[in-house]
Structure 1
């Protein structure tokens, strides 16, 4: 059931008065129903007979699931009958890599069993590969299978362009103690979030590495004090940049998290390089992508990012009511990393090089350029610890008034913000 990651779910079962035409699909044993739903369109899927799963999460019999802006598949190990809205682009496939994906789960379970009698960590699985090969899909499958056995693995999202745990532009970790909700996604626990502020790794790779290291340290400390977390292990999803700087960052991530299992999705070159680099030290497995993996266009990716941000403020089904809050310039400190642009070489002494500290915090004076920006609210009370502190939430800047020196922001809830320190990157939201 490897498919494109489901970037946007819409919950609820409030249907129009007129019945929606449906089609019945009979899936034989070890087949899957692949489908594609564009942004703005909705698919209704119901299991009416047998058993089936959606990225490792079992479908409930006779429950109608409502999905939009997604590309996915429903797989059955035995057989099933599905009712799907007629407008959905769907077809049945008989060749899937689910058996191979299930073997990875078996390897993880063997590691968990072996570490029960010692103080070693459970599986630390990092899933790597190029864009659009199903990394997010297998992450959800492994999370689903793990939680169905009673484990509570930590899921780590190192793809700032995607935002599977919270909004894009962040690196996050979340304890997952039940399968990913088919409609709502990962909503069952409070994540540990660090704000990178960009959707591309090359915007500030030094900052990205620092945040990954901080995230890994926090997870390690938790595993030292929590037996279930230690045994359950970690499942890490990465972005699709695997060449040049992207490869360097990938190697750093593998080493920082001390991964003991690398899953390479559909790339012989990367598999060969990692196998050679970690010979005997780390188990490296190559998996094929599913034939149903869809290539996401740049437009689809952008719509997905915008949809994830909107979901944060308005809810998956649009039933939340965010609040407009007015902030006085004197009550907040807006910071960004990078120290500003480098000076041109012509402006420097002969032989000198411009040195910019990528982790340097620079205070930003509020201006109209901030409109449409996403600001992260840190829990920290100290500027020095802001890059290692958890993020409390996010604000969307709707107006900056230079005359009154006030800023209007959209917040997910009313009340005072927990800290005066706000982090800004290049991420903007344009509805």
Structure 2
């Protein structure tokens, strides 16, 4: 390995950040927890043994390039890893055996219904507070399922981060093979609905309506063949678990007809859900948070959100070439849902109700305020179908010229837009 440093760690070590390659030797059932800063290109290479990244196996001697990432690599039998530009340490105690047992529970359930053509596979909702490891366990269960030959659907209901595509969306994607370590889910073709906001409380009724539409599409996918029916889905929720967040979580479980709920790192939520669903067949599983789950500050989350938008247009490694398009006002129709954000009830006089219908489709005239907005391009043929229709892609508005009545926007590819119907929310990006 030339001038590589070798770190043989038998106890948890202090973080080491270096631009030179470092070799980490892991014993069986240990994991390497690492951080790669924004604007830094880190690399990972499995030099010896076997290891996995959230359930996806690393190929031997392949160099993986990662950006702005916090993650963990686990080995069941021991390995050597070469890392560059990472702050990393080896974790000796992990809940991976518990996580693997959950996958076995799901696999056993699939086996138990093989001879029943009317039964559905595991429909799993993952709940818990922010930074409890929901995304990590989602990926593990998806990747293990794919490695065992199943094709589960991944459903992402966290508009704050955008696990499948851009923030501000809710989406579902078929997982036919383990998730790529470098590109993630960017190569999948998801069904996407553009909520347009990063938080549930801006328009919760709209969020629920879009959730119902997404659930209907997922049902059609699961009913399409026996493999899909047996594979089921893994659904990741946002980290808001109190008050409105809890009510939306209950709606999620009911709307998607879940038969498993995994609660990450929260005794109260586990107790509340166990009591609420005590008379149902829903199995509720409590799991601890891994020591490798990193705290993400609101600033880090915002930066991640902006990064996700940038990746959509420019690619993970700046390997895409987006194109500018100029649109006449008369050639597109832009809609807001509900006439804009709904004021919270606390802002209204006592006993008053908002006069704005949160599901109303309102045509809006382009204005300077739309500069830096992300617009969803709807596949809808008629305006009344916008809430139920898939999103074809996104535009980033760079300029609104009120004199010439033209919109200049960044598009991921050249050519005419697939639809003249555009959706706008509160999501913005400063390039």
Question: What's the offset of the Cα at 1:189?
Answer: 2.4
1:157 is matched with: 156
1:106 is matched with: 104
CA distance in 1, matches of 2:122, 2:343: 46
Question: What's the offset of the Cα at 1:75?
Answer: 0.3
Alpha carbons 2:48, 2:80 under 8 Å: kept: yes
1:138 is matched with: 137
Q: Label 1:77 to 1:430 Cα distance change in 2 as closer, same or farther (>3 A).
A: same
Alpha carbons 2:203, 2:341 under 8 Å: kept: no
Q: Does 1:93 align with 2:111?
A: no
Question: What's the offset of the Cα at 1:225?
Answer: 2.2
CA distance in 1, matches of 2:217, 2:53: 31
Question: What's the offset of the Cα at 1:226?
Answer: 2.0
Q: Label 1:390 to 1:274 Cα distance change in 2 as closer, same or farther (>3 A).
A: same
CA distance in 2, matches of 1:394, 1:296: 27
CA distance in 2, matches of 1:49, 1:369: 55
Deviation digits for residues 66-85 of structure 1 (CA, Å, limit 9, x no counterpart): 11111111100001011111
Alpha carbons 1:128, 1:238 under 8 Å: kept: yes
Q: Label 1:277 to 1:407 Cα distance change in 2 as closer, same or farther (>3 A).
A: same
Higher normalized contact order (CA 8 Å, seq sep 6+, divided by chain length):
1
CA distance in 2, matches of 1:343, 1:57: 44
What 5-or-longer segments of structure 1 have no aligned partner?
1-18
Deviation digits for residues 320-350 of structure 1 (CA, Å, limit 9, x no counterpart): 11110010000111001113477999xx999
Alpha carbons 2:170, 2:192 under 8 Å: kept: yes
1:402 is matched with: 402
Alpha carbons 1:176, 1:188 under 8 Å: kept: no
Alpha carbons 1:223, 1:229 under 8 Å: kept: yes
Q: Does 1:290 align with 2:274?
A: no
Question: What's the offset of the Cα at 1:290?
Answer: 0.6
2:9 is matched with: none
Alpha carbons 1:372, 1:429 under 8 Å: kept: yes
SS in 2 for 1:74: strand
After the TM superposition, which parts of structure 1 deviate over 3 Å for at least 4 consecutive aligned residues? Answer: 340-345, 348-354
Question: What's the offset of the Cα at 1:22?
Answer: 1.2
Q: In the TM superposition, what are the counterparts of 1:22-101 in structure 2 within 5 Å?
A: 22-85=21-84, 87-101=85-99
CA distance in 1, matches of 2:364, 2:169: 20
What 5-or-longer segments of structure 2 have no aligned partner?
1-17
Structure 1, 275-284 or 49-58: larger mean CA deviation: 275-284
Q: Label 1:341 to 1:109 Cα distance change in 2 as closer, same or farther (>3 A).
A: closer
Q: Does 1:194 align with 2:221?
A: no
Q: Label 1:47 to 1:353 Cα distance change in 2 as closer, same or farther (>3 A).
A: closer
Q: Structure 2 length normalisation: TM-score?
A: 0.92
1:10 is matched with: none
Q: Does 1:335 align with 2:335?
A: yes
Superposition RMSD in Å: 1.8
1:3 is matched with: none
CA distance in 2, matches of 1:344, 1:273: 26
Alpha carbons 2:202, 2:342 under 8 Å: kept: no
CA distance in 1, matches of 2:79, 2:418: 49
CA distance in 1, matches of 2:210, 2:343: 26
Q: Label 1:344 to 1:185 Cα distance change in 2 as closer, same or farther (>3 A).
A: closer
CA distance in 2, matches of 1:339, 1:187: 32
Question: What's the offset of the Cα at 1:352?
Answer: 6.0
1:174 is matched with: 173
1:14 is matched with: none
CA distance in 2, matches of 1:209, 1:276: 23
1:264 is matched with: 263
CA distance in 2, matches of 1:144, 1:329: 45
SS in 2 for 1:225: coil
1:356 is matched with: 356
1:425 is matched with: 425
1:377 is matched with: 377
1:246 is matched with: 245
2:314 is matched with: 314
2:414 is matched with: 414
- Number of residue equivalences: 410
Structure 1, 272-281 or 165-174: larger mean CA deviation: 272-281
Q: Label 1:307 to 1:275 Cα distance change in 2 as closer, same or farther (>3 A).
A: same
Question: What's the offset of the Cα at 1:354?
Answer: 3.9
2:126 is matched with: 127
Structure 1, 117-126 or 350-359: larger mean CA deviation: 350-359
Q: Label 1:353 to 1:28 Cα distance change in 2 as closer, same or farther (>3 A).
A: closer
Deviation digits for residues 218-256 of structure 1 (CA, Å, limit 9, x no counterpart): 111222222211111000000000000000000000000
CA distance in 2, matches of 1:203, 1:338: 11
SS in 2 for 1:318: coil
CA distance in 2, matches of 1:132, 1:341: 27
SS in 2 for 1:147: helix
2:274 is matched with: 275
CA distance in 2, matches of 1:344, 1:51: 52
